[in-house]
Amino acid sequence: MQVDLVTVAVAVETPQHTGLGAPLDYASTAPGLPPGTLVRVPLGRREVPGIVWERPPGDAPPELKPVREVLASLPPLGDSWRQLVGFAAAYYQRGLGELALAVLPPELRKLDDVQLTRRIARLHRAEAPPAAAPGDPLHGPALNDEQRAAVEAIGAAPGTYLLHGVTGSGKTEVYLHAAEAALAAGRQVLVMVPEINLTPQLEARFAERFAGRRLVSLHSGLTPAQRLRHWMLAHLGAADLVLGTRLAVFASLPRLGLIVADEEHDPSFKQQEGARYSARDLAVYRGHVEGVPVVLGSATPSLETWQRVLEGRYRRLALPQRIGGGVLPRVRLFDMNTLPRQRGSAGPALAPPLVQAIAERIERGEQSLLFLNRRGYAPVLHCTACGWKSGCPHCSAWRVFHKGDRSLRCHHCGFTERVPRACPDCGNLDIAPLGRGTERLEEQIAELLPGARVARIDADTTRTKGSLEAQLGAVHAGDVDVLVGTQMIAKGHDFRRITLVAAVNPDSALFASDFRAPERLFSLLMQAAGRAGRDAEQAARSEMWVQTWHPRHTLYAALRRHDYEAFAAGQLEERLAAGLPPFASLALLRAEAREAAVAQAFLRAAAERVQAQAESMGVTIYPPVPPPVARVADVDRMQMLVESPTRGALQRLLAGWLPQMHTLRAQHKGVLRWAVDVDPLAI
């Protein structure tokens, strides 16, 4: 009996050097295999997972390899999901199969149909039905007029909404009520946060409010088995709410009704490896495709989002007041130039008036937060005799001194050594720390305020599982007087007892080469200020201190007034004059090699291939230059900026240019890796 073969297109992850980004043709004996079906197919000598995709019209090549297995137990991935992945692959210039398979749970890619059938059956047995009937009324604080208007607007029509609310204005309550409306309509809700450490507290709040609803999380902190289970619950429609980080934007949600991106301005929404996508921008696109509202929440929106509001493409929903009538903390700028200089040292960690202000808070039983965005004891050790510094032998960066374990650690490649007893170059015993990190600040505040209960939260103190939750719990319980930390504690946390926040050393970002540095600094300082005075009864005496050598800088003037709109207007005016985003589109072409000259030659050759075409399209290709940290783990890096006045011109140039890079790399044997970053955040 002759079996009819059907040609199907399958998206598979092909090696980058092949230049095969489109789906490949295979022969299938299964009639009417719908797009979105998971399959296993041969690729070279391997058998790999794949996803059936739409096949453009045309004749099939002869002698196609067969589809080995169909994972029929799992419903196909939906049309809108494939449209989202297809758009992301095209826009960020990645292979379709590479992206489509990368955003699925790794465990799913390992299973055959029998194993998958067992997993699904086990999932149905383990997951009890909801304890409460859908549509139970919300039990929470009453909304004020601005919150109620925002909820009504979100529920009235699809579109992209900027929920622009000062810190403590109740944005989360708006998310909860908007989610309740979507759930009551039988839809699913996707809520994204920029970082994993913000997930547990938001998850706890949603779980408490929506008891009886099935809630799952999706982020890199899950085990492979947990991630697969949560993804399948969402894909099968069993999960009502999905909370996650940027990867969650690709969750398969068959009845999606609402998307929320909290702290939408945060750079963590941009993936920095592999397919460098922006989850925030893809959330907006997904909302458009699926016809559902998208809520972008922030006290300090990204300038791209703010410009779209000004252009009328997004609708702004304002929450100008804190809940309970509380006021924002008063911002005090302390001029560090008024303190006596201390030659040969890092200078005073904290100005005496600030130390006194912290002591007064401790006496009243209140808490203070000291923000310093640099972990470790000191950024570098140096020899006072010969000038030696603790550079990393594998990177163009300093190794940071960590006093706790007496180590010098590179935060780029991880290379760690014990602190030498004497200078490696001249033998001098006087090796001193230069600069200050959170570890040193913690030590100094404990010396200045004996008896104060000081805690530190940064990447070094939260490595073990559950440590972050335990330390945050101590702060909430009032067991900490002074909290020292990095940006991990400067945003998203609801500390009710903190009445003073101090930014210890924020000036470095004022004069950085990256044009986005002022925007990031202003946002971070506004977020940090928002940790103070969240209890309305204490708001009137809450303060934020900024220790600065440049108190007259325009950024600090806007910060004193909590005036985001004035800051944004000034930045947008500068961006427009300079032809920078959001008034232009950028891409970065990066190359890595053992020698910088090899990477530079590769990028120059790439530019020569399309220089004439770029000029005709009005696209500028700048000469390749090293990034701020040019060497990491014995690999030299170079980058080349591509600037276009329009997004369309940039995309057309990249689409024709990048396929040529595969053959070009073969001519430059020393190039280890190359990649393109569309809409880069760090330049």
List residues forming the annotated binding site for Zn(2+): 383, 386, 392, 395, 410, 413, 423, 426
551 φ, ψ (degrees, to nearest 5): -65, -15
Residue 670's CB is within 10 A of a number of other CB atoms, namely 16
Please confirm whether the linkage preceding 582 is cis (ω < 30° from 0). yes
Q: Distance between CA 52 and CA 35 in Å, rounded?
A: 5
Spatial contact of 441 and 379, defined as CB atoms under 8 Å apart: no
Q: Distance between CA 284 and CA 516 in Å, rounded?
A: 22
> Helices (DSSP H) in 218-367: which residue ranges?
224-235, 279-290, 303-310, 352-363
Contacts of residue 53, defined as CB under 8 A and 6 or more positions apart, other chains included, come to 9, 10, 11, 23, 35, 82, 96
**Of 147, 208, 214, 156, which Cα lies nearest the Cα of 181?**
156
Q: Distance between CA 156 and CA 153 in Å, rounded?
A: 5
Token pair of 562, please? 């909590």
**Of 583, 584, 587, which Cα lies nearest the Cα of 680?**
587
**Of 228, 335, 399, which Cα lies nearest the Cα of 552?**
335
Q: Distance between CA 202 and CA 275 in Å, rounded?
A: 27
Spatial contact of 66 and 26, defined as CB atoms under 8 Å apart: yes
- What is the C-alpha radius of gyration for the chain, rounded to an integer number of angstroms? 27
Token pair of 681, please? 């955040």
Contacts of residue 597, defined as CB under 8 A and 6 or more positions apart, other chains included, come to none
Q: Distance between CA 146 and CA 320 in Å, rounded?
A: 8
What amino acid is encoded at 273 in this protein? E
Q: Is 108 exposed, middle or buried (0-12, 13-18, 19+ CB in 10 A)?
A: buried
Q: Is 633 left (phi over 0), alpha (psi -120 to 50) or beta?
A: left
Q: Distance between CA 231 and CA 310 in Å, rounded?
A: 37
Spatial contact of 641 and 588, defined as CB atoms under 8 Å apart: yes
User: Residue 547 forms beta bridges with which residues?
Assistant: 334
User: Residue 315 forms beta bridges with which residues?
Assistant: 161
**Of 382, 390, 364, 302, which Cα lies nearest the Cα of 567?**
302
Binding residues: 383, 386, 392, 395, 410, 413, 423, 426
Residue 41's CB is within 10 A of a number of other CB atoms, namely 22
Strand-pair category, 635-644 with 585-593:
antiparallel
Give just the sign of the alpha carbon dihedral 161, 162, 168, 172: positive
Spatial contact of 193 and 243, defined as CB atoms under 8 Å apart: yes
Token pair of 148, please? 């109620």
Q: Give the per-residue SS3 of 15-38.
A: CHHHCCCCCEEEEECCCCCCCCCE
**Of 650, 656, 666, which Cα lies nearest the Cα of 587?**
650
CA angle 181, 183, 184 (to 5 degrees): 65
CA atoms within 13 A on the CB side of 22: 9
